[in-house]
Amino acid sequence: MDILAIYGGLFAIAFAAATILPAQSEAALAGLLAMDSFSPAMLVLVASLGNVLGSVVNWGLGRGIERFRDRPWFPLRPATLNRATNWYHRYGRWSLLLSWMPIVGDPLTVVAGALREPLWSFVAIVALAKVSRYLVVAGTVLSLM
């Protein structure tokens, strides 16, 4: 096994999972942890880095979203985007702690960009949420082994 390919693949899956692309980074992380052939700390670090950077892409897309949101090819449904916007207006930047959640997490990161959340606070809060999720996955898998 090429170790760079393994870590690179995990990074790519985690990155894609944080964008609007369908991917399951938790399953990939759990599978690699269960193999017991790689450093758990390095796996969590790589998955976290990929996932946070994918969220930064969403934030960047959100910065220019208003001119594209009504286009037929736009990947987020208006209802999903509106729900995330309302949630963000109600709870502010701390709603980004839910960025790890399926369905609402990715739109929240797009909305944060659209509502001009500063990049530094965005990255700090999203990293906390994403790293925590991967630590829970790793802790669960490792405790079962």
SS3 per-residue string spanning the chain? CCHHHHHHHHHHHHHHHHCCCCCCHHHHHHHHHHHCCCCHHHHHHHHHHHHHHHHHHHHHHHHCHHHCCCCCCCCCCHHHHHHHHHHHHHHHHHHHHHCCCCCCHHHHHHHHHHCCCCHHHHHHHHHHHHHHHHHHHHHHHHHHC
The pLDDT of residue 104: 81
- Other Cβ atoms closer than 10 A to 44: 20
Q: How far is the C-alpha of 47 from the C-alpha of 7, rounded, in Å?
A: 8
* pLDDT tens-digit series, residues 58-98: 999 888 877 777 777 776 677 877 777 787 888 889 999 99
The pLDDT of residue 121: 97
The pLDDT of residue 73: 74
Q: How confident is the model at residue 15 (pLDDT cuts 50, 70, 90)?
A: very high
Q: How confident is the model at residue 12 (pLDDT cuts 50, 70, 90)?
A: very high
CA angle at 136 for the pair 125 and 57, rounded to the nearest 5°: 40
Average pLDDT over residues 136-143: 95
Residue holding tokens 């969590």?
44
113 pLDDT more than 70: yes
106 pLDDT more than 80: yes
Q: How confident is the model at residue 1 (pLDDT cuts 50, 70, 90)?
A: low
Average pLDDT over residues 98-102: 89
Return mean pLDDT, the chain.
Answer: 90
Average pLDDT over residues 26-39: 95
Whether 109 and 54 have beta carbons less than 8 Å apart is answered as no
Which pTM does this prediction carry? 0.87
